[in-house]
Amino acid sequence: MNIIITKDNQELSEKACGIIEKQVNDKPDSVLGLATGGSPLGTYKQLINGCQERSVNYENVSTLNLDEYIGLDKNDPQSYHFFMKKHLFDHINIRPENTYIPNGKAVNLGDECERYEQLIDDIGPPDLQLLGIGQNGHIGFNEPGTSFQSETHIIELEESTRRANARFFDSLDKVPKQAITMGIQSILKSEKIVIIASGERKADAIRSLLEDEPDENMPASALRAHKHVTLIVDEAAYQKAGH
C-alpha cells in the first residue's frame, strides 16, 4: 500500500485529484469508480476546476458509483444520484448516459443487485476506484461483518453509519436503513484503488487498516490484499498510526 500523508484536507483533495486526472489523461476512456459522502467533496471540487480550467476531458469516461440508498428516488435531494449530479456530473463534460449508479427504487432489489454486478463486469471493472472509509471501517456501504467475497448486495446500515450520515438529512429518522452497495469483492476487481481519509474522526479506522490483521469486522482491511492501493491521509487521520 502506497501511503501519502498530507497536512490537511485541501492538500489531500489536490493529491487525489492529480491521480484521477492522470488516469483520465493517460486513458481518455477510463472507467472511474466513484464514492459519495463527505470524504470526496474536496476532490470533486478539484476535478471540476481541472475540467473547467485545465481542459481535462471526461467526454469518453464512464463512472460506476459504489452505492445508493434503498427507497430514495434518483431525484430525491438525499439520493446519491442527486449528490453526484450536484457535486460533480453537472459541472464536467461527462455524458449522463455513461454514469451508472444503483437504482434504489428498483421493484426487484435482488435483480437490481445482479444487474449492477453484471454492469461492473461489462463496463468495468474500474480502472481506478475512489473510496472513503467509515469510522467503523466500512467501504462503500459494506458494514463490519460483510464477507470479503461479497458482490453487489443489500445491506442493513449500522446505527453509527446512519448517525454519521444524518447531517445530510433533516433528522436521523429520515436516514434510510438499507442500501444497495458494491460488495467487497466487487471493489477489489478494480485495477487501482485510491482511499482517502481526513480528520481525527477517521484516526482509529486508519490505525486499524494499517496495523491490524485483515478481518471482516474491519471491511477496509480487505484492501490489504489488493495489488495497487494508494492511501491518501491527512495528519489528523494518520495521528494514531505507527505508534
Tens-place pLDDT, residues 112-157: 999 999 999 999 999 999 999 999 999 999 999 999 999 999 999 9
Q: Rounded mean pLDDT of 11-34?
A: 98
Give me the catalytic one of 81, 127, 138, 142: 138
Query: Burial of 82 by CB count in 10 Å (0-12 exposed, 13-18 middle, 19+ buried)?
Result: middle
- For residues 183 and 113, give the distance between their C-alpha atoms in angstroms, rounded to a whole number: 10
Q: For residue 242, name the pLDDT band (cuts at 50, 70, 90).
A: confident
Tens-place pLDDT, residues 71-105: 999 999 999 999 999 999 999 999 999 999 999 99
pLDDT for the residue 143: 96
pTM beyond 0.75: the answer is yes
Dihedral of CA atoms 161, 200, 3, 127 in degrees, nearest 10, equals: 30
Query: Burial of 235 by CB count in 10 Å (0-12 exposed, 13-18 middle, 19+ buried)?
Result: middle
The fraction of the chain above a pLDDT of 70, given in percent, is: 100
Active site residue 211: no
Give yes or no for a contact between 32 and 23, defined as CB atoms under 8 angstroms apart. Answer: yes
Question: Among residues 157, 159, 167, which one has the least CA distance to residue 38?
Answer: 167
Q: For residue 243, name the pLDDT band (cuts at 50, 70, 90).
A: low
Give yes or no for a contact between 179 and 69, defined as CB atoms under 8 angstroms apart. Answer: yes
Query: Burial of 201 by CB count in 10 Å (0-12 exposed, 13-18 middle, 19+ buried)?
Result: middle
Give me the catalytic one of 68, 112, 117, 143: 143
Active site residue 138: yes
Give me the catalytic one of 67, 117, 127, 151: 67
- Tell me whether strands 128-131 and 31-34 are parallel, antiparallel or unpaired: parallel
pLDDT for the residue 203: 98
Which residues are CB-contacts of 173 (< 8 A; sequence separation ≥ 6)? none
Tens-place pLDDT, residues 197-219: 999 999 999 999 999 999 999 99
Give me the catalytic one of 65, 136, 142, 165: 136
- For residues 45 and 60, give the distance between their C-alpha atoms in angstroms, rounded to a whole number: 20
Q: Rounded mean pLDDT of 26-39?
A: 97
- Tell me whether strands 67-69 and 229-234 are parallel, antiparallel or unpaired: unpaired
